[in-house]
Amino acid sequence: MASGWSFKDDFGCNLDVFPDNATLSVGAQYGEFNLFQEKISKIFDELSIPEF
């Protein structure tokens, strides 16, 4: 298995990132798609590398 990262928050969200895939599991509080979309957008913003 490849090395990766696992991120968890206090609300039941879990993100596993590996070189060949990523899995986002969300808790029951994400009952609407737009809440999920906001969460994944924030995650991608944090993981992105700023351009120089």
| Residue 27 belongs to some domain of the structure | yes
| Residue 40 belongs to some domain of the structure | yes
Report the domain count for the chain. Answer: 1
Please check the confidence at residue 40 and state whether its pLDDT lies above 60.
yes
Q: How far apart are CA 14 and CA 27, in angstroms?
A: 8
| Residue 14 belongs to some domain of the structure | yes
| Residue 26 belongs to some domain of the structure | yes
Cα 41-25-14 angle, rounded to 5 deg: 80
pLDDT band with cut points at 50, 70 and 90 for residue 35: confident
Hey, CA dihedral for 9, 45, 35, 37, is it positive or negative? negative
Whole domain around residue 25: which residue ranges? 5-47
Cβ neighbourhood burial of 16 (10 Å; 0-12, 13-18, 19+): middle
pTM of the complete model: 0.56
| Residue 21 belongs to some domain of the structure | yes
Q: Which of the two residues, 50 and 25, has the higher pLDDT score?
A: 25
pLDDT of 15: 84
Give all strands (DSSP E) within 1-52, no chain letters.
5-8, 14-18, 21-25
